[in-house]
Amino acid sequence: MKIIIKNKDTLVYDEFIFKCSIGKNGSSNKKIEGDKKTPKGIFSLDRVYYRKDRKKKPQTKLNTKEIKKNMTWCDDVRSKKYYNKLTNIEHSYKHEKLFRHDYKYDYFIPIKYNWKNPKIGKGSAIFIHLTKNYNPTAGCIALKEKDFLILVSLVKKNTKIEIL
The residues, any chain, with a CB within 8 Å of residue 158's CB and separated by 6 or more, are 44
Q: How many CB atoms within 10 Å of residue 45?
A: 20
- What is the structure's pLDDT at 133? 97
The DSSP symbol for 119 reads P
Distance between CA atoms of residues 118 and 56, nearest Å: 32
Contact of 113 with 39, CB cutoff 8 Å: yes
**Would you state the pLDDT for residue 103?**
98
pLDDT of the chain, 164 residues: tens digit per residue: 899 999 999 999 999 999 999 999 999 999 999 999 999 999 999 999 999 999 999 999 999 999 999 999 999 999 999 999 999 877 778 999 999 999 999 999 999 999 999 999 999 999 999 999 999 999 999 999 999 999 999 999 999 999 99
Beta strand pairing call for 86-88 and 10-13: unpaired
Q: What CATH architecture does domain 2-163 belong to?
A: Beta Barrel (2.40)
In the chain, where the domains are located: 2-163
Q: Are 48 and 60 in contact (CB under 8 A)?
A: yes
* Secondary structure class of 129 (helix, strand, coil): strand
> Residue 155 and residue 60: Cα distance in Å, rounded?
7
Question: What is the C-alpha separation between 31 and 15, in angstroms, rounded?
Answer: 29
Phi, psi of 42 (to 5 degrees): -115, 125
